[in-house]
Amino acid sequence: MATQFTVEGVRRVTFGCGSAASLGEEVKLLGGRKALVVLDPSLAKLGVAAPALDALDKAGVEAVIYSDITREPEPAEADAAAALGRDNAVDVVVGIGGGSALDLAKAAGVLITNQGQCTDYVGLELVKTPGKPVICLPTTAGTGSEVTFTAVFTRRADKFKGGINGRLLYPHMAILDPELTVSCPPYISAITGMDALTHAMEAYTSRAAHALSDHNALAAIELIGGSLRQAVAHGENIQARSEMLLGAYLAGLALAQAGVGAVHAMAYPLGAFYDIPHGEANAVLLPYVLRHNIMACPERFAAMANALAELPGDMSTRDAAYACLHEVMDLSEDVGIPATLKELNVPQASVPEMAKKAMTVARPIANNPRKVCAEDLEEIYHQAFGE
């Protein structure tokens, strides 16, 4: 556990059913008269964003909509959103949707006020000028993007996936309205929920973990473990949706505070090479990386197991640590996550290339509780094919 740490983050968080209705007043409090709204295109058709858009209208805030968003966004999409915001002289940026929409909103916020293109800022702390205030409204319970300092993009042409990372990427505000997540389809609920669980577990076992990140991670694990099945099985269960959204938020805080590990590093090539959604890649890889890492911190795995399930009091630390692995595997199976990479149609011949690329995702590799090399990652990938 780290003995020194620095904590930063989103300035204001509002949580609760119906809280999307406060968006207009929040924008006005920031001096906003015109807002760039980065909106997941499917949400416009389903009417999910209506409470937020109505709130802007009632407050007299003009909404400039950008919704040309792909599943794993390209940097050019952030450039286009920023150009739209700049051309319309917006005061505030609003992101409504899953991680892709929120990441685009955060990137657009800084690109409006910083010269150059999105690709100029991929890296750590390359953004130097504060952006327009960003307000995020997640419609999935998983990515934690509403409270993190990262905006991730995929360059399909050269099989690259990376992010703009830095303190100026933190949103000004997150509005967490469980009602916005009710229409999220079962499988999307499953993979985003497992994504959040991955954030919490990797943060808790991170080499940079500390007391505050530990608190948030364990609380997130308990909430997600206790509510994901219900949220997937019955999307209108507002209590389950509320617990999942709160759990995903806490997991996002833990991620921002302590970082993530090898699961994320290994998931990046799956997205860059084969366009596999980030949450799905994390969900499939999580059990295999956990198994590899258990020996590094069994006591932490035991604590996570106790957050996921009620274990016998006389269970040894080692048995409890492995119980954590089995609880994750059971949860993953129950919510319909594929068991292997083979089921995602990933060619096994690409394992060496993926492992090499994953090793370049430096911070997660360094954070992993057990030191890993390319050969270790190759072995984990092979295990994830069911070998």
Domain annotation covers residue 369 = yes
Structure tokens belonging to residue 170? 């933190």
Domain annotation covers residue 339 = yes
Domain annotation covers residue 5 = no
Q: What domain range is 108 assigned to?
A: 12-181
Whether residues 297 and 311 fall in one domain: yes
Q: Residue 72: what pLDDT?
A: 83
CA–CA gap between residue 321 and residue 310 (Å, rounded)? 13
Q: Residue 167: what pLDDT?
A: 94
CA–CA gap between residue 223 and residue 240 (Å, rounded)? 9
Angle between helix 211-233 and 317-334 (nearest 10): 40
Domain annotation covers residue 302 = yes
Domain annotation covers residue 1 = no
10-residue stretch averages of pLDDT, the chain, 387 residues long:
78 97 97 96 86 96 95 92 97 96 97 95 94 97 93 84 91 98 96 98 97 97 98 97 98 96 96 92 98 98 95 90 97 97 95 96 96 98 92
Amino acid at 195: D
Which CATH number belongs to the domain containing residue 146 in this structure?
3.40.50.1970
Among the candidates 181, 208, 237, a domain finishes at 181
Whether residues 284 and 156 fall in one domain: no
The pTM assigned to this predicted structure is 0.95
Among the candidates 181, 216, 245, a domain finishes at 181
Q: Residue 311: what pLDDT?
A: 85
Which CATH number belongs to the domain containing residue 334 in this structure?
1.20.1090.10
Domain annotation covers residue 4 = no
Whether residues 300 and 351 fall in one domain: yes
In angstroms, the Cα distances linking 79 to 41, 152, 200 are: 18, 13, 31
Whether residues 154 and 61 fall in one domain: yes
How do residues 204-225 score in pLDDT, each as one tens digit? 999 999 999 999 999 999 999 9
Paired residues of 12 in beta bridges: 173
Whether residues 223 and 338 fall in one domain: yes
Number of domains composing the chain: 2
DSSP state of 207: T
Whether residues 176 and 191 fall in one domain: no
Domain annotation covers residue 6 = no
Domain annotation covers residue 2 = no
Whether residues 192 and 219 fall in one domain: yes
Whether residues 167 and 225 fall in one domain: no
Whether residues 123 and 194 fall in one domain: no
CA–CA gap between residue 230 and residue 237 (Å, rounded)? 7
Whether residues 173 and 214 fall in one domain: no
DSSP state of 9: -
Whether residues 366 and 319 fall in one domain: yes
Among the candidates 156, 181, 206, a domain finishes at 181
Whether residues 137 and 193 fall in one domain: no
How many residues are listed for the chain in this entry?
387
